[in-house]
Amino acid sequence: MHFWTFLPLLLSVVVVQVCCLGSACRTPLGAGKAEPSDPYWMETIKHQGISAFNENPSEYQVFRNVKDFGAKGNGVADDTVAIKSVMAIEIVSSVVMLSSKQCNRDWKPVWWRITPAVVYFPQGTYLVSSPIIAYYYTQLIGDPKNPPTLLATPNFDGIAVIGKFGIWVGNQQFTVRNITINNAQTAVLQVWNWGWVFQDVTINNCQVGFDMSTGGVAQGTQTAGAIAIIDASITDTPVFVRTSQPSNGRLDGSIVINNAKLVNVPIAVGVSGGPTVLAGGTIKIGSWGQGNAYKGTNGTGVFTQGPIAPAHQSPSLLDHSGRIFGRTHPQYANYAPSQFVSVRDYGAKGDGITDDTAAIKAILGRFAGCKIIFFDAGTYIVTSTITIPAGTHVVGEAWEHGSGLLIMTWMETAQLKCKFTPGGVYCRNRRVLSGWWGQVSPSTMLSQSRLTLGLGSEHHVLYQYNLVNAKNHYLALIQTESPYFQPVPAPPTPFIPSFAFHDPTFPDGLDSSWALLVTRSSNILVFGAGLYSFFQVGLLTREWCLLIWGSNQNFEQTCLDTASCQSQVVNIDSFSTVSIYSLSTVATTFQLSVNQVGVINQSGNVNGFASTVTIWSRH
């Protein structure tokens, strides 16, 4: 679940991509000009980013080099205190308080961080004696040319030391991709989740690849509910996947493995202190699962620990090595600071007040195609169409913290065509949409995209994802929440369904929005989904009331106990070819429907707080 403050960030922008170099350009940008011995450009570029909504935006420091705060990075001095002092600047910067009258409860303040921080580690070895806490809205960045090392002291006091564990994780849902872990005792320790996707994972010379804490199949004993691994390479590691408890012929931690290459891995799947579930060696695992499998309109699942139906993967989704295509944001590691231009140096304010439209247009008009346009941290108000020439490189200093009060319309030719308005999201001709989360009511979404990775869509009145006439799509860990206020009113109220946007109908008994709709589509692969419904009208708890932005409506969550907050959540029509792996839902009676008729009842798939379908296929 996501809780955000809403602040005016961008005003109804249209971004259009065209061609040509800027007026100040003689030649295109070309290759990076940094020398091998030069530090990373972010270390030496002028930093003048601001936090527009901080109480003292001109004094607040967004970018922080740990060495400026006393860290030595020499592998001898203990840098713990220095690093923590960098992290702790302005930890809490906004408070929202709702009165007890609004919730019929005692109020408590709710804190949101709305001031970003970029904590930079230059090349070096940083000795630490206790955990470094990564706060919300904070980025920890190292020199990609010479990655820094955090080294635990012999007397380190705390959990999650890198080395014993490559990553030590627990969260509701997550997508992790493009990681390599070498020489750890345990590469990935998964302590709990509702659902998790790992994509493009390389593990070398560890003792255990994935260690899953299992056995918690009740709400109060949640452990690792579901993991789905796709495109993995595991080498010289005794165990690929290990669970802490045996499944004993029933769902107890869902596992999906797709396209895993093992070299010298004796146990592919095993139980800690117990039997080998799947023998390893030097092999390739095409498609394997542990959990409940379903087909078509048959509502009776079959527990499986073995090969499962492989998903069709169109060549258009794959890279040259046969893995799902992925693209990482460039870091421009080999570029020199002289190859960047700051928008604040050329008139943009980023103060959340000034209209920066003209300044941004002027900067693009001068430097598009020959300089990397650097948006210093800030909030840039834009009130008319921004034209971005093809070949323009744009990079920011800090993450954007959340949705604006008014929604952005973003249309970029060739790479992205998306229109995002309060009425909906319409996308087409899309290659990769990654790490995206949208929350607004009302909204609709029509997708003709190809690859969607780690997406979240919440609280839209009619549906969260709607694929119509789509072909060859890959969706990895899509996450949704139904609107908290439904069923008062029930959808489609207060809107009139639009035939042009393929708005759905709602069968009797469904009084909340659809999470996922697939209509007249082919070769759709859903690899991980977390689809949640938490409320009905009633009495809201204090914690939730504080997050309804002052609403006087009452809500209740007793429907969580009976998994009946809504009746249906996913609908596949009879014409579409779809494969769904690792589908986790919360408080929805039917996890999957065909032609708006419920097929898979969650009661047979309880897997902790959520219920999980390991695989559903058409045939």
pLDDT digits (tens, 9 = 90+) for 451-499: 555 556 777 899 999 999 999 999 999 999 999 888 888 999 999 999 8
Grade residue 113 by pLDDT with cuts at 50, 70 and 90.
low
- Greater confidence (237 vs 168) lies with 237
Stretch 270-294: mean pLDDT: 97
Distance CA 496, CA 498 (A): 6
Mean pLDDT of the chain: 83
Q: What pLDDT is stored for residue 488 in this prediction?
A: 84
Q: How far is CA 406 from CA 169, 271, 382, 409, in A?
A: 34, 51, 11, 10
Q: Which two tokens stand for residue 17?
A: 């991509």
Per-residue pLDDT at 265 exceeds 90: yes
Q: What pLDDT is stored for residue 90 in this prediction?
A: 60
- Greater confidence (130 vs 103) lies with 130
170 φ/ψ angles, rounded to the nearest 5 degrees: -165, 125
Per-residue pLDDT at 415 exceeds 60: no
Per-residue pLDDT at 404 exceeds 50: no
Per-residue pLDDT at 180 exceeds 90: yes
Q: Which two tokens stand for residue 383?
A: 């009130």
Grade residue 184 by pLDDT with cuts at 50, 70 and 90.
very high
How many of the other CB atoms lie within 10 Å of CB of 595?
A: 12
Lowest mean pLDDT among 159-173, 330-344, 408-422, 556-570: 408-422
Grade residue 554 by pLDDT with cuts at 50, 70 and 90.
low
Q: How far is CA 328 from CA 174, 192, 260, 281, in A?
A: 17, 27, 21, 31
Q: Give tens-digit pLDDT for 578-609.
A: 999 999 999 999 999 999 999 999 999 999 99
Distance CA 232, CA 375 (A): 35
DSSP readout, 49-84? ---TTSSSTTT---EEEGGGGT---EEEEE-HHHHH
Burial code (b: 16+ CB inside 10 Å, e: under 16) for 93-108 equals bbeeebeeeebebeee
Stretch 46-70: mean pLDDT: 91
Give the whole-number percent of the chain exceeding pLDDT 90.
Answer: 65
Per-residue pLDDT at 610 exceeds 80: yes
**Could you tell me the pTM of the whole model?**
0.82
Per-residue pLDDT at 417 exceeds 50: no
Q: What pLDDT is stored for residue 429 in this prediction?
A: 38
End-to-end CA distance of the chain: 33
Q: Give tens-digit pLDDT for 343-389.
A: 999 999 999 999 999 999 999 999 999 999 999 999 999 999 999 99
